[in-house]
């Protein structure tokens, strides 16, 4: 049995704010090439971030990046490369930042007004450079001895569109087994179609029970199912119990 527990909001919210600042800086860095929006998805969007603190894995966030490139000036490979290079650049610049940066003002879509981003808040961050993988690229913060991951963030580059009145999504897929490694847009598999069930659970004030069921499934996950699959199972279980 595993030992997952929910990460307190007071612990993960400062980290989420750090990530937003970091992403804002990347937006500024790439603005002359393209703009992009970003959305926190999954557990961090539901206040259901979990962590097994007895392991060295830490907890993570999931972010979708949607690039505005209507003329398709950049290939899938170029988009992922530019984003990863920009994150690496900003990470390098914000490790032990000096006074020349001061306070940088930018518009954050999570706020209604322009506000300062105090670069001093980055002084103690030790984000790793981006790690490339099949569906995402990842940045992490390790403990001082680097033996344990404190937290990380997975970034997926996506394209949302409507086809035949149906919402669809593509993501940049990286295949390192080809020679040379390849990048292409792939259609996202259909979701678990649980949004209406989530609404039912919310209206019936059953979110607390949903969180209990989900955590139990995480701790008894003998077959290493993905978290999104366990969450869908938990939603269906609570919905079927009370419908």
Q: Which region among 19-33, 49-63, 104-118, 198-212 has the lowest average model confidence (pLDDT)? A: 104-118
Confidence of residue 38 (pLDDT cuts 50, 70, 90): very high
* Model pLDDT for residues 44-90, shown as the tens digit of each residue: 999 999 999 999 999 999 999 999 999 999 999 999 999 999 999 99
* Model pLDDT for residues 147-165, shown as the tens digit of each residue: 799 999 999 999 999 999 9
Q: Could you tell me whether strands 5-6 and 50-51 are parallel, antiparallel, or unpaired per DSSP bridges? A: antiparallel
Q: What is the pTM of this model?
A: 0.87
| Cα distance between residue 44 and residue 138, in whole Å | 16
Cα separation of the two ends of the chain:
30
CA 19, distance to chain mean position in Å, is 9
> Cβ distance 72 to 180 under 8 Å?
no
Q: Which region among 90-94, 102-106, 178-182 has the lowest average model confidence (pLDDT)? A: 102-106
Q: What is the pLDDT of residue 104?
A: 36
Q: Mean pLDDT over residues 28-46, rounded?
A: 97
CB neighbours of 211 closer than 8 A, spacing ≥ 6?
6, 48
Which residues is 131 bridged to in the sheet? 138
| Cα distance between residue 151 and residue 172, in whole Å | 23
* Model pLDDT for residues 117-149, shown as the tens digit of each residue: 555 555 455 899 999 999 999 999 998 777 799
Token code pair at residue 187: 């259609």
Which residues is 36 bridged to in the sheet? 67
Q: Which region among 90-99, 110-119, 205-214 has the lowest average model confidence (pLDDT)? A: 110-119
Q: How is the chain split into domains, by residue range?
A: 5-190, 193-243
| Cα distance between residue 31 and residue 71, in whole Å | 16
Topology of the domain covering 5-190: Beta Polymerase; domain 2 (3.30.460)
Q: Which residue do the tokens 């518009």 mark?
A: 107
Is the pLDDT reported for residue 111 higher than 70?
no
Confidence of residue 180 (pLDDT cuts 50, 70, 90): very high
């Amino acid at each position: 049995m595993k030992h997952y527990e929910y990460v307190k909001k007071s612990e993960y919210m400062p980290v989420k704010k750090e990530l937003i600042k970091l992403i804002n800086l990347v937006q500024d860095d790439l603005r002359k090439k393209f703009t992009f929006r970003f959305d926190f998805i999954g557990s961090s969007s539901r206040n259901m971030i979990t962590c097994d603190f007895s392991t060295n894995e830490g907890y993570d966030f999931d972010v979708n990046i949607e690039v505005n490139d209507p003329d398709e000036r950049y290939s899938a490979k170029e988009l992922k490369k530019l984003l990863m290079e920009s994150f690496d650049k900003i990470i390098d610049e914000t490790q032990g930042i000096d006074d020349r940066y001061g306070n940088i003002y930018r518009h954050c879509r999570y706020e209604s007004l322009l506000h300062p981003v105090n670069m001093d808040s980055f002084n103690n961050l030790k984000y790793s450079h981006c790690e490339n993988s099949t569906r995402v690229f990842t940045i992490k913060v390790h403990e001082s001895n680097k033996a344990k991951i404190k937290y990380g963030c997975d970034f997926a580059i996506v394209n949302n569109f409507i086809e035949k009145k149906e919402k669809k999504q593509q993501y940049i897929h990286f295949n390192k087994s080809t020679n040379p490694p390849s990048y292409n847009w792939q259609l996202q598999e259909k979701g678990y179609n649980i949004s209406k069930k989530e609404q039912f659970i919310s209206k019936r004030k059953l979110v607390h029970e949903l969180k209990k069921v989900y955590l139990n499934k995480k701790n008894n996950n003998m077959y290493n199912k993905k978290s999104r699959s366990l969450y869908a199972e938990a939603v269906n279980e609570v919905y079927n119990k009370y419908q």
